[in-house]
């Protein structure tokens, strides 16, 4: 068994030792140190940059100002406003019809006067029935 500054080394272990960017190779009993080729390092950096940019784009697409979550919230708000608008239009149509009846139909005016104001015609008698238990 041989010893070097990395600890014990077995005779059958002929693979290179890796230490960050340095590659240690064994040639004839002497250990030489070489760095990884610049082309490999550049390729690795480019891959990491592409992955990082891709992650940023995906995160922005999900939670950005115009991302997926903002679009879902906007659709929910649109549906709620659309429902509110339909209700308001229906109520507006009912009020228009009621206003038209009050302008054109004297019977409608009399019905509202009797129901809401408790008015009666001259000569009519009002009977109030009390519930006795």
Task: Identify the band that residue 129 occupies on the pLDDT scale cut at 50, 70 and 90.
Answer: confident
In degrees rounded to 5, what are phi and psi of residue 55?
Answer: -65, -45
The string of DSSP codes covering 14-55 is -SPEEETTEEEEEETTEEEEEEPPHHHHHHHHHHHHHHHHHH
Residue 49 domain flag: no
Higher pLDDT pick, 107 / 21: 107
Higher pLDDT pick, 59 / 91: 91
Residue 71 domain flag: no
Residue 47 domain flag: no
Residue 19 domain flag: yes
Query: Element (H or E) spanning 21, and its range?
Result: none
Residue 6 domain flag: yes
Q: 23: closest CA among 35, 6, 14?
A: 35
pLDDT above 80 for 28: no
31-40, 68-77, 84-93, range with greatest mean pLDDT: 84-93
The single residue listed with the structure tokens 């939670």 is: 63
What domain range includes position 30? Answer: 1-36
B/e letters for 6-41, b = 16+ CB within 10 Å, e = fewer, are eeeeeeeeeeeeeeeeeeeebeeeeeeeeeeeeeee
Residue 51 domain flag: no
Q: How many domains does the chain have?
A: 1
| pTM (predicted TM-score) | 0.46
pLDDT of res. 133: 75
Residue 123 domain flag: no
CA distance 61 to 52: 14
pLDDT of res. 18: 45
Residue 9 domain flag: yes
Q: What is the mean pLDDT of the chain?
A: 80
The string of DSSP codes covering 64-127 is STTSHHHHHHHHHHHHHHHHHHHHHHHHHHHHHHHHHHHHH-HHHHHHHHHHHH----TT----
């Amino acid at each position: 068994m041989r010893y070097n500054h990395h600890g014990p080394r077995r005779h059958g272990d002929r693979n290179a030792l890796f230490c960050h960017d340095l590659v240690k190779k064994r040639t004839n009993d002497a250990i030489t140190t070489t760095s990884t080729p610049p082309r490999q390092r550049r390729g690795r950096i480019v891959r990491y940059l592409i992955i990082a940019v891709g992650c940023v784009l995906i995160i922005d697409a999900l939670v950005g100002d115009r991302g997926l979550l903002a679009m879902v919230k906007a659709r929910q708000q649109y549906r709620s406003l659309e429902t509110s608008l339909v209700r308001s239009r229906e109520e507006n149509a009912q009020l228009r019809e009621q206003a038209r009846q009050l302008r054109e139909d004297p019977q409608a005016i009399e019905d509202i006067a009797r129901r809401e104001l408790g008015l009666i015609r001259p000569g009519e008698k009002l009977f109030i029935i009390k519930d006795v238990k």
